[in-house]
Structure 1
Amino acid sequence: MSVDIHKDIARRLYEEVVTEGRAELLDTFVAEESTDGPRAAWASGRQGFRDHLEGLRKSLPDVRATVTDLVAEDDRVVVFWRIQGTHQGELWGVPATGRTIDATSVSLITFHDNQIVNYSVLPDRLTILSQLGAVAA
């Protein structure tokens, strides 16, 4: 079933691509003409996704993304995940602090032909920025 394939790709996106840094898997997982939801946090396309991943790994070189739950139907997967790491490079305009982050995020991933064509992520920015000392708790 394609739903099971989509859930497997979504899980592997976080466990293997984000956590392990296996960017080569993006060639298989992400469509060349993919988009980043309505926010446009990264440039569209597979290369934009690759650039976003590289920036994240520069900000948090020891990043760990743990999938805590997946909900899927038809061509969509909602991923509930936890992000952890040490802030070693600029993140959302905040210079490196050396502090650790531990927060949750929710992503909506849309597939076509078993590849990601749209990716929208809603990180808990307030928690992360608080942990970095950028905003008052």
Structure 2
Amino acid sequence: MKTDVCSAISIATTHYALYDTGDVTGVDKVFAPDLIDHNPVPGAPTGIEGMRMLIGEVRIGFTDTHHEIVFQRELPNGWVVSHWRMTATHAEDAFGAPASGRPVSFNGTDIVRVADGRIIEIYHVAERLQMQVQLTA
């Protein structure tokens, strides 16, 4: 497994652009086909198909999506930890909540492992309760 630290951070960061642009075709460039997703969204498929579904769901449900990296650090063996903030407008039904037109802002943390130019493993935790409160308040 060959990992370049700069490219590991670059790839870890690039995956947020997929959410912001809704580029589900880019999933195949950023994530390995045998991606291990340690905590997929409940009800979503696992692995790369789960990431494709999640990115599509975010893009369908939200407009003006923007991810800001709050903190990012590379670790040994291709691991990168990223703490991020997503802002958007809830324009369509998403994650079980009907469209509200409300702005949302919530944080999350991802730990990814990059090898051979793609993310091969991911742990992701988003403050979904914070998001749900903003969507339904």
Letter in 1 for 2:136: G
Q: Residue 61 of structure 1: CA displacement?
A: 2.8
Q: Residue 80 of structure 1: CA displacement?
A: 0.9
**Aligned partners of 2:68 and 2:84 also within 8 Å:** yes
Structure possessing the higher relative contact order (Cα contacts under 8 Å, 6 or more residues apart): 2
For structure 2, the residue ranges without an aligned partner over 5 or more in a row are none
Letter in 2 for 1:40: P
Query: Residue 96 of structure 1 corresponds to which residue in structure 2?
Result: 99
Letter in 1 for 2:40: A
TM-score of the superposition, structure 2-length normalised? Answer: 0.84
- The number of aligned residues is 132
**Aligned partners of 1:36 and 1:44 also within 8 Å:** yes
Q: Give the Cα separation in 2 of the matches to 1:25 and 1:131.
A: 29
Query: Residue 46 of structure 1 corresponds to which residue in structure 2?
Result: 48
Query: Residue 58 of structure 2 corresponds to which residue in structure 1?
Result: 56
Q: Give the Cα separation in 1 of the matches to 2:36 and 2:81.
A: 16
CA change 1:62–1:33 in 2 (3 A) is same
Q: Give the Cα separation in 2 of the matches to 1:13 and 1:58.
A: 17
Residue aligned with 2:136, SS: coil
Letter in 1 for 2:99: A
Q: Give the Cα separation in 2 of the matches to 1:100 and 1:87.
A: 6
Q: CA RMSD in A?
A: 1.8
Residue aligned with 1:61, SS: strand
For structure 1, the residue ranges without an aligned partner over 5 or more in a row are none
Query: How does 1:80-119 map onto structure 2 within 5 Å?
Result: 80-119=83-122
**Which 10-residue stretch deviates more, 100-109 or 125-134?**
125-134
Letter in 1 for 2:100: T
Identity among equivalent pairs (%): 23
